[in-house]
Amino acid sequence: MSAVLEAAISEFAAIDSVVARSHEAQAAYAAARHAVRSALLRGLADALERDAAPLIALADEETSLGAGRLNGELARTAFQLRGFADRLDAGIAARIVDNAAVAGAPPAGRPHLTRMFAPLGPVAMFSASNFPFAFSVLGGDTASALAAGCVVIIKPHSGHPELSRRVHALAAGVLREQGLPEGVIGFVDQASREAAVRLVSHPDVGAVAFTGSYQGGVALWKAANARACPIPFYGELGSVNPLVVTPQALAQEVETPAATLAASIALGCGQFCTSPGVIVVRDDGTGTRFVEALARSLAAQRTHAMLTPAMHCGFEKATEHIAAQPGVVTRLAAQAGSAAGHPPTPRLFEIDAQSFVANAALHEEMFGPAALVVRARHDADVLDVLTAVEGTLTVTLWGAEADTAANRALAAVAQRIAGRVLFRGVPTGVAVCDAQQHGGPWPASTQPQTTSVGYAAIERFLRPVALQDAPPWAIDANHGGATV
**Catalytic status, residue 273:** yes
Residues 6+ apart with CB under 8 A from 68: none
Cβ neighbours of 330 (radius 10 Å) = 13
Return d(Cα 303, Cα 329) in angstroms, integer: 23
Residue 98 has φ and ψ, to the nearest 5°, of -115, 120
Task: List the catalytic residue out of 11, 62, 236, 365.
Answer: 236
Whether 162 sits among the annotated catalytic residues: the reply is no
Residue 249 · residue 426 · CB < 8 Å: no
- CA nearest to 395, candidates 243, 247, 240, 249: 243
* Measured torsion, CA atoms of residues 270, 271, 274, 276, in degrees rounded to the nearest 10: 20
Q: Is the dihedral of CA 352, 354, 355, 356 positive or negative?
A: positive
462-468 vs 113-119, strand pairing mode: antiparallel
Beta bridge partners of 155: 126
The phi, psi pair for 119, rounded to 5°, reads -65, 145
Q: Tell me how many degrees the CA angle 358-359-361 measures, rounded to the nearest 5.
A: 160
Q: Where are the alpha helices (DSSP H) in 90-154?
A: 140-148
Q: Are 303 and 345 in contact (CB under 8 A)?
A: yes
The DSSP secondary-structure symbol of 445 reads: B
Euclidean distance between CA atoms 10 and 14, whole angstroms: 6
- Of the candidates 229, 269, 279, the residue with the CA atom closest to the CA atom of residue 249: 279
Q: Which of 73, 273, 316, 350 is catalytic?
A: 273
Catalytic residues, which ones?
Answer: 236, 273
